[in-house]
Chain A
Amino acid sequence: MNNRRIILPGEKIADGKVSAPGAFVQGEATFAAVIGMMDEEGRFIPLERKYRPIVDDTVVGMVTDARHAGYDVELNLPDVGFIPSRDIRLKLELGDFVVCRIREVSEVGQVDLGEVRRLPKGKIIEFPPAKVPRLIGKKMSMITMLKENVGDIIVGNNGYVWISEKADVPLAIKVIKMIDEGAHFPGLTDRVAALFGKERTGE
């Protein structure tokens, strides 16, 4: 773990009131609510998290119900998201993969979706939501590299990753697995770049 310490739920992570994902404030200090670790800059990084919907997040999902009023979309959440049909012209069918933006989250966690785009044939895999920032990378570096090397991939903040049928699916899965396993070790981008280099010379 490169001497970065694992933080347990309930451990103090800052003296003042700090707002951070996976943390809570009690009295005059901030504590970890989930298991995580501290990075070099002293920020708390959750290692394990449930996806919580936030307005403007990009999410990938699957249509599970089509009604007159709209569509239900499975989003890796306790409840399905909803696409109102008056907002979209496109006709969706059960089992369609879609990428949308979260338009509204009600106080009981009901999600309304907008900016819907139907995805062509492909595959959806589940990725730990806590590690999605690593899959995207700083300034989208990781996902850009993935797209250049394997083809079309869309990462939802909810942890669903869509891989196009036309992409190199086995290679994409191999790399995403590598990112999952190495998400909390430094030098990940270099290792992924090295893997792509090897794949290219191997061909």
Chain B
Amino acid sequence: MASSVSEVRMVVDGKRMDGRSPEDLRPVRIEAGILHEADGSAFVEWGGNKILCGVYGPRECIPRFAASPYRALVKCRYMMSPFASLEEHSRSGPSRRSTELSKVIREVFENLVISEKFPNTQIDIYIDVLQADGGTRTASITAAAVALANAGIPMRDMVAAVAVGKADGQLLVDLGKAEDNFGQSDTPVAFSGRDKDILLLQMDGLLTKDELLRAIDMAQAATESIHDLQADALRRFYEQPSQKKFKM
């Protein structure tokens, strides 16, 4: 790896730019069931990321010819707000980036939702990134898992995701925006809760085989604590008397 890339020092004395050690996550806060009209919802604040997720369904599949008589279709729409980050995202319509993210997030949940129980229907996952600070896809997956559980859609497992990357020649868990933009690699990984299945693995930039294996181990350790935060959020919601889903 060329050393010229590391002209910017991002790790000094084992501390990162925001004072974290290489294995530390940014502060994560998860809230379940915050939207009244969606079937299920979640809000995740992850460092500077603010992500809102609403889930609907199973409901009538539109267009009807696309419906499957064998299972419910899982649909996902990831969208970044125009004001989400430093660069303006203009009208926030479909872009190359949002189409890709919608696809990879959809594929995570296609593997988890027990869709055979709901033929000819669709399940919609809407993800809105209100503020972006690096790692929105992992935060989105974390939010969508909570929202699906909140909607009562049957799933085989929960899922949490985190990115491990390389910046300044070191493997770092949960890259911030600067570490992502000026680092050498960004590798988001999603792990299911019980079986520890890898449901998402992408790699931007380069890692050696050895580094990748280490990165996956670090990601798994980090997702454990995110799973706990997801469980906490759902417990908090269901241990109080519920305020939603009573319509007239």
Listed in ascending order, the chain A residues whose CB lies under 8 Å from chain B are: 1, 6, 8-12, 22, 24, 26, 31, 33-35, 37, 46-50, 52, 78-79, 107-109, 123, 125-128, 130, 173, 176-177, 180-182, 184-185
Q: Is the CB of B154 within 8 A of A9?
A: yes
Select which of A12, A52, A130 is within 8 A of B117 by beta carbon. A52
Count contacts between A and B, CB distance < 8 Å: 110
Provide 18 A-B residue pairs closer than 8 Å at the C-beta atoms, listed in order of the A residue.
A6-B231, A9-B148, A9-B156, A10-B156, A22-B154, A24-B156, A31-B156, A34-B153, A37-B238, A48-B40, A78-B61, A78-B121, A107-B119, A109-B119, A126-B248, A180-B245, A181-B243, A185-B241
Q: Is the CB of B234 within 8 A of A78?
A: no
The interface residues of chain B lying within 8 Å CB-to-CB of A46 are 152
The interface residues of chain B lying within 8 Å CB-to-CB of A47 are 152, 238
A127–B231 alpha-carbon span in the complex (Å): 25
A88–B15 alpha-carbon span in the complex (Å): 76
Q: How many residues of B contact A (CB 8 A)?
A: 40
Contact with A along B178-213 (1 / 0, CB 8 A): 000000000000001110000000000000000000
Q: Is the CB of A108 within 8 A of B69?
A: yes
How close is B36's CB to chain A, nearest CB, in angstroms?
13
Contact with A along B132-172 (1 / 0, CB 8 A): 00000000000000001111111111100000000000000
Q: Is the CB of A33 within 8 A of B154?
A: yes
B35 contacts the other chain (Cβ, under 8 Å)?
no
A127–B246 alpha-carbon span in the complex (Å): 6
Q: Is the CB of A173 within 8 A of B248?
A: yes
Further contacts, 10 of them, CB under 8 A, given A9-B158, A34-B153, A78-B120: A9-B154, A24-B156, A49-B152, A78-B59, A109-B119, A125-B247, A125-B248, A128-B245, A173-B248, A180-B242
Q: Is the CB of A24 within 8 A of B114?
A: yes
- Name the residue of chain A whose CB is nearest to the CB of B150: A48
B239 contacts the other chain (Cβ, under 8 Å)?
yes
